[in-house]
Amino acid sequence: MRDFIITVNSTVDMPKEWLEEKNVPCLKLTYTMEGETYEDMSMDPKVFFNRLRAGQMPVTSQVNPEEAKAFLEPFVKEGKDILHLAFSSGLSGTCQSMIMAGRELAEAYPEAKIVVIDSMCACLGEALLLMQVLELKEAGKNIDEIAEWVENHKLNVVSLFTVDDLHHLKRGGRVSAVSAIIGTAIKIKPVLHMNIEGRLEVIGKERGRKKALNAIVDMAKEKSGSWKNERMLITHGDCIEDAEFTATLIKDKLGVKDVYINNVGSVIGSHTGPGLIGVFLMGDER
């Protein structure tokens, strides 16, 4: 049986050192700010978000098929099969580029198996799915068994968010202009989730930051259902105190001891702006 490798896009938002330790190659998306192009996660998060606060507006770019092929082909040449967990197709054309590259490589290397899965996730939702996949591989599951598990369970990844305002999401087309205008006008803190189409959707509103943070944790508890989450993940947009407050809520309300906190990457952060808090777990339904 051929060896296989698991690969991801940088929107998984995990530290480079962690990915290297787990032997997970990562294809980075890019963004342009003030005429300069940067790789995702290459800029210090505090510097990045301070530039956003100063009014600088990044423009993100999806991976194109040529970049995807150049990234994947060396692993095939090494004699490895590939399982790629792609950034949600509901948010980027990157997934389609990865699929196209996989098809081209499968034709050029018929002995190779290249499986590209639309994760329907973003940020640490992708990371949570990746963690599950790595555990399955460690347990001896083959590429087909793991791919089947991902397809069957990727919509069990629950992603809940709140942001300071909807301006950045509106500008990037991630939420409707109507939702953003209403949210800004009445000074609410919106609550969003990743829906079954892999898109961000506004599902609630709260007056005040603390109420919004409590709301997403309460929703997380409800949506977890029959899943016994031993870990949950939190992302933040340069607001570590709020992330730590949310971690305390999770430990108190859900009894989860393993709560991982990390900065949101620059590509995702370009669309959410500073002040993002996201909570990720496995649940019965999104």
Please indicate, yes or no, whether residues 212 and 187 belong to a single structural domain of this protein: yes
Least confident of 124-138, 164-178, 217-231: 164-178
For the whole model, what pTM was predicted? 0.93
Please indicate, yes or no, whether residues 223 and 129 belong to a single structural domain of this protein: no
7-55 pLDDT, tens per residue?
A: 999 999 999 999 999 999 999 999 999 999 999 999 999 999 999 999 9
Cα–Cα distances in angstroms (integers) from residue 230 to residues 164, 227, 244, in the given order: 29, 9, 18
Domain housing 134: 4-155
Mean pLDDT of 202-225: 94
Among 155, 173, 207, identify where a domain stops. Answer: 155
Please indicate, yes or no, whether residues 40 and 182 belong to a single structural domain of this protein: no
d(CA 156, CA 140): 22
CATH of the domain at 144: 3.40.50.10170
DSSP assignment of 52-78 = HHTT---EEEPPPHHHHHHHHHHHHHT
Among 118, 139, 155, identify where a domain stops. Answer: 155
The pair phi, psi for residue 22, each rounded to 5°, is: -85, 0
Give the residue among 114, 107, 116, 118 at the shortest CA–CA distance from 4.
Answer: 114
- pLDDT confidence of residue 189: 87
Q: Strand, helix or coil at 212? A: helix
147-175 pLDDT, tens per residue?
A: 999 999 999 999 999 998 777 676 655 55
* CA 156 to the chain's CA centroid: 14
d(CA 144, CA 170): 39
- pLDDT confidence of residue 132: 97
Please indicate, yes or no, whether residues 149 and 163 belong to a single structural domain of this protein: no
Please indicate, yes or no, whether residues 109 and 17 belong to a single structural domain of this protein: yes
Please indicate, yes or no, whether residues 180 and 232 belong to a single structural domain of this protein: yes
**Contact between 238 and 274 (Cβ < 8 Å):** yes
Please indicate, yes or no, whether residues 11 and 144 belong to a single structural domain of this protein: yes
Please indicate, yes or no, whether residues 145 and 193 belong to a single structural domain of this protein: no
HEC profile for 105-128? HHHHCCCCCEEEEECCCCCHHHHH
Please indicate, yes or no, whether residues 93 and 122 belong to a single structural domain of this protein: yes
**Contact between 208 and 190 (Cβ < 8 Å):** no
Please indicate, yes or no, whether residues 105 and 177 belong to a single structural domain of this protein: no
Please indicate, yes or no, whether residues 29 and 141 belong to a single structural domain of this protein: yes
pLDDT over 50 (residue 180) = no
Among 140, 155, 170, identify where a domain stops. Answer: 155
- pLDDT confidence of residue 129: 98
End-to-end CA distance of the chain: 36
244-268 pLDDT, tens per residue?
A: 999 999 999 999 999 999 999 999 9
**Contact between 106 and 72 (Cβ < 8 Å):** no
CATH of the domain at 182: 3.30.1180.10
Please indicate, yes or no, whether residues 15 and 151 belong to a single structural domain of this protein: yes
Cα–Cα distances in angstroms (integers) from residue 78 to residues 24, 68, 83, 130, in the given order: 15, 17, 15, 22
Kind of pairing between the strands at 277-282 and 231-236: antiparallel
Total count of domains within the chain = 2
pLDDT over 70 (residue 229) = yes
